[in-house]
Amino acid sequence: MKNYKVTISFLGTAYHGFQRQEGGLATVQGKLERAIYKLLGERVSVNGCSRTDAGVHANEFVINFFLDSPIDCRGIIYGLNGVLPADIAVKSAEEAPKSFHARYDCKGKEYVYLIHNSEIKSPFLADRMYRSWYPIDEKKLDRAAKAFIGEHDFKSFCAASCDKDITVRTIFDYSVCREGDVVKFTVSGDGFLYNMVRITVGTLLFINDGKLSEDSIPSIIAAKDRTLAGKTVPPQGLYLNRVFY
């Protein structure tokens, strides 16, 4: 039996997140496990590097699973791409040590959040970006975002339903830039709480809109109070962009 480390990408619009759920809801994990069974006749449990919320996408998402089949890595890539739905793609595959686990061996992640900042909507971006017509000052938000960098208790920036006892995380970098009508928020860290990225983006948008001051982030972090931070922006603009091992 071999352990395979596989990198995929997916459009999350049609799925209730990555992780398999009760009640037959469509998930990326469920689609992968069914595709492996269809291709090889083996029932496997796919481990993912992250759970992801409903509607969230991934440019790079790492999974691992064990196979008895003699199939090689090229066969995994092209075989699974032949049976997976169009919104999930296998990018690479390699044999990994039997001890490797996509989630527990992960050292960090990078997320990207995209906002279509235009007065004119685009029918092609509705499920792939959050749209905000109000002008965004990306330079101002880039300055404000630097306050997230470092090791902090991010209790103010996680959903009320977050079940983590320890809410301290380390943010490696946080930047905001503009590419035409698209404003791109890029954040990397050793781990993220439930809805943390979406709440930090929402907080920066509150700063942009004048609802919070540009220097307010340190005091919000110190307060450990979710009600002081900004809104939770919608999931369709969020992408898991890179995974670090």
Residue numbers annotated as active site: 53
What's the Rg (C-alpha) of the chain? 19
Q: What is the 3-state secondary structure (H, E, C) of 56-83?
A: CEEEEEEEEEEECCCCCHHHHHHHHHHH
Q: Which residues contact 93 (CB under 8 A, 6 or more apart)?
A: 4, 5, 6, 7, 73, 74, 76, 77
d(CA 11, CA 239): 9
Tokens of 165: 């006892």
d(CA 147, CA 219): 10
Phi then psi for 31, rounded to 5 degrees?
Answer: -65, -40
Q: Looking only at Cα atoms, what is the longest distance across the chain?
A: 60
Residue 71: CB atoms within 10 Å: 18
Q: Is 146 helix (H, G, I), strand (E, B) or coil?
A: helix
Q: Which residues contact 80 (CB under 8 A, 6 or more apart)?
A: 32, 35, 36, 39, 90
